[in-house]
A and B are shown apart, each in its own frame.
Chain A
Amino acid sequence: MEQSFVLTEDMLWDYADGFLSPVEKAQVDDYLRQHPEQHARLDAIMAEKRNFSALALEHPDAGFADRVLAAWATEQGGKADLSAEKSRDWIAYGIGGLLAGFLFLLIVLIFASAPEATPMGIEPTDYIPSIPWAKIFSSPIARFGMPFALLFVGFRFLDQYLQQKKVLAQWQA
């Protein structure tokens, strides 16, 4: 097997690029161990690879990013104004979301418990429904589901708010 093994240039590149299977890699390692004079070929390839990796990136013109953002803002029908972003108040959105979630759950629970809350013998037209608070808050959905949902919404908005603060802080830095 030793005599039939020929270490080609392609094989050395594949070795350097990490394309060889473990078996093939072991073969090359063995061969190089037995023929240390061949190591120079691998060193040359590694040097070439380092040269490829060290190629410099091209630099776009100054203002390229601004032009991209302006084009994007134009496409969106607005004007690129990063400073205006500070006025967005995610806390307000968060509170709004919490209230909306709370109201939604309340309405769902009222409707869910309304048929049982209607007293017998009273005409529907004369009946003014009252909110069965005791019943609502005795249900497991209200006791566990609602706080969980509110916590989830609350954390989601808090997370958004913190992310936004980080983005702004890094952008300003």
Chain B
Amino acid sequence: MSSGAGREAVFPTRQSLGAMKSKLKGAQIGHDLLKRKSEALTKRFREITKRIDDAKRKMGRVMQIAAFSLAEVTYAVGNSSIGYQITESVKQAKFRVKTRQENVSGVFLPQFESWRVEGVSSDFGMTGLGKGGQQVQKCRETYTRAVETLVELASLQTAFVILDEVIKVVNRRVNAIEHVIIPRTENTIKYINSELDELDREEFFRLKKVKGVKERAKAEEDAERSKKARRESDKENEQNGEGKNVLGDEGDEDVIF
């Protein structure tokens, strides 16, 4: 049935009625909780969506500036091998990302945090010593900002995807409980009740029937008995009339002392 109004395959017994009732209660509590969870998640989700929007706009601006500062470097240095020199002279990363987890209503969201290693000096600090060094440093600054924005965006985006998934699951559960489990349990309870009532009525009817039969049998018996009694008295009367032993002791056995 489309509304999930089927019922569970249980024997309509009082025990299963009890079980069903507790199940219904559990389902309702679960539904309330899940609904609240879903609302909390949705609130968070909206917030994140807004922040993603901001972050993306910011990223657009920052990346533009960064790309432009790279153009400035190319302009100032005048050759294109600068990128190679920089990538070759860097030995360890200064800019690093670490993750931690944040718990939002039982959902673990990874949060990325960027930090700079203090000990790592600028390995390519001398790049462009002859010319363009200042542009290289400036470019490095802008790209650091760009990467920071990217990291921020990455954690938001991951949270967005995870939350989206979780909200879908939770909503599916809420809907399942609301539209399938609760109606079905209610139906089952209704069914069990009606079956039990039916059984009660049948029992009552059966008892009535049994009583009727018994009464009828009794009545018949009574009638038989009264008829028999009448006949016997009649017979007696007859015998008496034939000169029967007055003492009426023909049948008596001899008593042996």
The finding on whether chains A and B are genuine partners in a shared complex, rather than unrelated, reads no
Q: Which residues of B come within 8 Å of A, CB atoms?
A: none
